[in-house]
């Protein structure tokens, strides 16, 4: 599989996805979103692939949406809403994937990068990881599932604090709050990621799909919080 903005490597039953725009800290532009959607669609029905991992190249997981794609965009109420719904398709595809998806946050995760991290089923982080909810600082609201995923992990009061202040938390605080499952030394992040992936690769793919489908309906219907606009990814 050839992509320009992501890397995909396969090792037996494990597929490794790397956001590969380190020069811009792995921001999500429209092409990256489209490539990630295409990859998830291609591996969706591959029963030999049991588990996927997601991380970022360089010193960042993802610094969020590429705001350069907003230049010249007509942000009417309807247009802006449709753009957000199209972006939601990436998060929905990650969550609907009937395979465990393990995220490894190797540095900065901001904005939509936090959304992508939280859409992973299991999330680990290096001690250098830091999570930024900076939407309010540029006059927008959290998107790509943050309203659903963040309070689901850390509770509504803490989610309000981060979203309203545009604040950030480090790896250890993220672990205490339940945002990530585990924090490891930076140089051991890849080792921890592969160890967990290898463990899951030995499990039942049929069970994984059923477990994810059931948990994604709790505590409320996902579609309430992550509405999706049908249609092609390109050109939004």
Domains and CATH numbers, the chain: 6-225 (3.90.226.10)
Residue closest to 96 by CA, chosen among 214, 230, 232, 233: 214
Q: pLDDT tens digit string along 143-163? A: 788 998 999 999 999 999 999
Sign of torsion, CA 55 122 15 217?
negative
Q: pLDDT tens digit string along 9-29? A: 999 999 999 999 999 999 998
Lowest mean pLDDT segment, chosen from 26-30, 105-109, 154-158, 176-180: 26-30
Q: What pLDDT does 27 receive?
A: 94
d(CA 7, CA 19): 7
d(CA 126, CA 183): 5
Q: What pLDDT does 72 receive?
A: 54
Q: pLDDT tens digit string along 212-223? A: 988 887 766 666
Percentage of residues in the chain having pLDDT higher than 90: 67
Q: Of 222 and 117, which is predicted with more confidence?
A: 117
Residue closest to 17 by CA, chosen among 131, 35, 196: 35
| Mean pLDDT score across all residues of the chain | 88
Quote the pTM value: 0.86
């Amino acid at each position: 599989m050839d992509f320009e903005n992501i890397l995909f490597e396969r090792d037996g039953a494990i597929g490794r996805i790397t956001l590969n725009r380190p020069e811009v800290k792995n921001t999500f532009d429209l092409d990256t979103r489209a490539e990630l959607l295409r990859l998830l669609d291609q591996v969706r029905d591959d029963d030999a692939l049991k588990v996927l991992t997601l991380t970022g190249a360089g010193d960042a997981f993802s610094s969020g949406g590429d705001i350069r794609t907003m230049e010249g965009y007509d942000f009417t109420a309807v247009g802006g809403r449709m753009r957000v719904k199209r972006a939601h398709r990436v998060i929905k595809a990650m969550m609907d994937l009937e395979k465990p998806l393990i995220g490894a946050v190797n540095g900065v995760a901001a904005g939509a990068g936090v959304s992508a991290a939280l859409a992973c089923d299991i999330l680990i982080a290096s001690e250098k990881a830091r999570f930024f909810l900076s939407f309010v600082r540029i006059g927008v609201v959290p998107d790509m599932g943050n309203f659903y995923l963040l309070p689901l992990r850390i509770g509504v009061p803490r989610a309000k604090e981060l979203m309203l202040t545009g604040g950030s938390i480090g790896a250890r605080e993220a672990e205490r709050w339940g945002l990530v499952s585990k924090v490891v030394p930076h140089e051991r992040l890849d080792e921890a990621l592969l160890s967990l992936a290898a463990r899951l690769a030995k499990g039942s793919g049929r069970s994984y799909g059923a477990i994810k489908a059931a948990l994604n309906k709790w505590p409320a219907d996902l579609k309430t919080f992550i509405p999706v606009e049908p249609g092609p990814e390109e050109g939004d």
